[in-house]
Amino acid sequence: MNIDFQAGATLQSTAIGYVLQAMAASGTYDLEPVPGLPDHALPVVNRGCILAVTSLPAPLFRPGVRVAAAELQYDVALLRIDDDIDAVHADVTLGLMEGEPFVLDNMALYETEGGNLWFVPPTFGPAVSVSADGLILEILTPYDTLDQRESGVARAREAIQHLFAPAEVC
């Protein structure tokens, strides 16, 4: 699937587009106000989740992520990205599954060598795969070493940078 970014796209909108692409969520999605989240909230109803983006640092909006997931019974991922794009971090709360929402803060966007997208923790532990099935809680991370983790985080960062600025003038 190709996602075409129109002139005026921001790094933040490009990051959301990158996650939408991993979800195979084609079509048109409108930004909607969700209490407690930034103005850039994007309900992806057919994947059971809400994506939002901010350039503000953690822990801003974390309570809103948790409340939205609990009240709306959706998975909520708040991407944190700034112009330096060292990495894309996210606060993820899984509210679609039964029981109390499952909170995973300070996750990083990670791309496997095969091109699959994940939200991964700072070291090891539960992670979230991003696919056409939505956001899926996984017990194990998709890497075996922290060097592999860093490589996958770099792949995700570079993919977003490439989408945002696909050509450079020399």
Q: What does the domain layout of the chain look like in residue ranges?
A: 11-162
Burial class (CB in 10 A: 0-12, 13-18, 19+), 30: exposed
**Predicted confidence pLDDT, tens digits, the chain (170 residues):** 333 434 457 888 888 899 999 999 987 878 889 999 998 799 999 999 999 999 999 999 999 999 999 999 999 999 998 767 777 899 999 999 888 999 999 999 999 999 999 999 999 999 999 999 999 999 999 999 999 999 999 999 999 888 877 655 44
CB atoms within 10 A of CB 114: 6
Residue 6's pLDDT is what?
A: 44
Residue 39's pLDDT is what?
A: 83
Residue 4's pLDDT is what?
A: 41
Q: Tell me how far apart the terminal alpha carbons of the chain are, to the nearest angstrom.
A: 29
CA distances (Å), origin 85, targets 95, 153, 162 = 28, 11, 12
Closest listed residue to residue 54, CA positions, set 17, 91, 18, 25: 91
Is there a contact between 15 and 53 (Cβ–Cβ < 8 Å)? yes
Residue 7's pLDDT is what?
A: 43
Residue 82's pLDDT is what?
A: 73
Write the DSSP string, 106-124: EEEEEE-TTS-EEEE-SSS
Residue 83's pLDDT is what?
A: 66
Residue 26's pLDDT is what?
A: 82
